Chains A and B, each alone.
Chain A
Amino acid sequence: MNERRSKLSILWDILHTIQKKEGKAKPTHILYGANLSHDRLKGYLEKLMQDGFIEKVTEGRNSYYLLTNKGNEFLSEFRKIQKLSDAFGIEI
């Protein structure tokens, strides 16, 4: 089995980290939660914002990423994909 994470799995890790923080997470939390370098995380966050899965908000000196309804739906669908893949033992 290939242990390298797919792009889809990385996107899941990012969104799941935000969801675990009740839908609102700081970039540093996402960085640790998704286990990514700063540069790679930046690229993925921009992609997720472009696709409407997350939104960036600034409160004082801190910036946060919020999970949108579309992001929540993606997580729900991804769980199904993951369950199906686990059941059949196929890689995502």
Chain B
Amino acid sequence: MAIELITILSPQLIPVWFYGYGAVAYGIVAAISFLISLFSFKLYRKSSLKTNLVLSLSFLSLGIAFACLLVSSLYTYFYIPYFQDDVGLGFFNHSAFNFYYLASLISYILFSMMYLPGKIKNKFFAFYVPLWYIDWTNFHILSIFIIGYVLLMNFMNCYKKRNFNSYLVTFAFFTIEIFHLLLLFIPFDVSLYLAAHALLSVGFGSLLIMLIRVSVK
């Protein structure tokens, strides 16, 4: 909620150029997410492996989530300098953020489903839905919880496989975890917004390197 509070209620708290900066970061993240989704979907069509499909859908959902933030940030960046009345801006951003919350959580749930044991996987709704309703307002805390599990599983994978690609993926999930953590503290220090977005971009850069390494014959 912290980022939404700052964006919707008090846009004057942070410099306008932050939104331009944020838009660049969201654009990078969305583009890389769509690329991984497409790559994984192509593999699914050839192998019919469900894990490839789930991976594709989770990155597709994440790409949509960050595309929503991209549109919202661009709108704010170009809107604020010309209009003082922020009623329209608030409504637009509120809608964009709601889409972002929904798409992002669907993505994280799909990520975690890839690692859940078979018996629990089939009953994942019973596990997540109550959390969703209880913590809807605390989106970042819920995200930290879910991505924390995914990160733990990736740490275990790194320890087991010890290959460079697994380090890159683990680093990317680590940056997503820190991204949500830093956004929680924006009300105390607005500069954390810059650090969170820079870190997220670097994390997705590592996913892009992984994708190139995997797709090269």
Residues of A with Cβ closer than 8 Å to B? 1, 8, 74, 76-81, 83-92
Contact = CB atoms under 8 A, between A and B. Distances in A.
A1 B114 CA distance: 12
14 contacts: A76-B217, A78-B47, A79-B217, A80-B43, A80-B214, A81-B47, A81-B49, A83-B165, A84-B39, A84-B55, A86-B165, A87-B163, A88-B154, A88-B166
A14 B61 CA distance: 36
A89 B154 contact: yes
B210 A91 contact: no
Interface in B169-217: 169, 210, 213-215, 217
Interface of B: 39-40, 43, 46-47, 49, 51-52, 55, 114-115, 153-154, 156-158, 160-161, 163, 165-166, 168-169, 210, 213-215, 217
Nearest to B44: A81
Contacts of B210: 87
Contacts of B153: 89
B214 A83 contact: yes
Q: Of A74, A78, A90, which is in contact with the most chain B CB atoms at under 10 Å from its CB?
A: A90
A87 B114 contact: no
Nearest to A77: B46
Q: Of A76, A77, A81, which is in contact with the most chain B CB atoms at under 10 Å from its CB?
A: A81
A80 B215 contact: yes
Across the A-B interface, give the 9 residue pairs with the lowest CB-CB distance, nearest first: A89-B157, A87-B165, A83-B214, A90-B51, A87-B169, A90-B114, A84-B214, A81-B43, A77-B46
A89 B167 CA distance: 11
Contacts of A78: 47
A84 B158 CA distance: 13
B51 A87 contact: no
Contacts of B168: 87
Contacts of B166: 86-89
A90 B169 CA distance: 12
Contacts of B51: 85, 90-92
Nearest to A82: B214
Nearest to B154: A89
Given A87-B210, A88-B154, A77 B161 contact: no
Contacts of B52: 81, 84
A84 B201 CA distance: 21
A8 B214 contact: no
A51 to B, nearest CB: 12
A64 B217 CA distance: 27
Nearest to B159: A89
A86 to B, nearest CB: 5
B48 to A, nearest CB: 9
A89 B215 contact: no
A86 B163 contact: yes
Given A8-B47, A81-B52, A87-B214, 11 more contacts: A77-B47, A81-B49, A84-B43, A84-B214, A86-B161, A86-B166, A87-B166, A88-B157, A89-B161, A89-B169, A92-B49
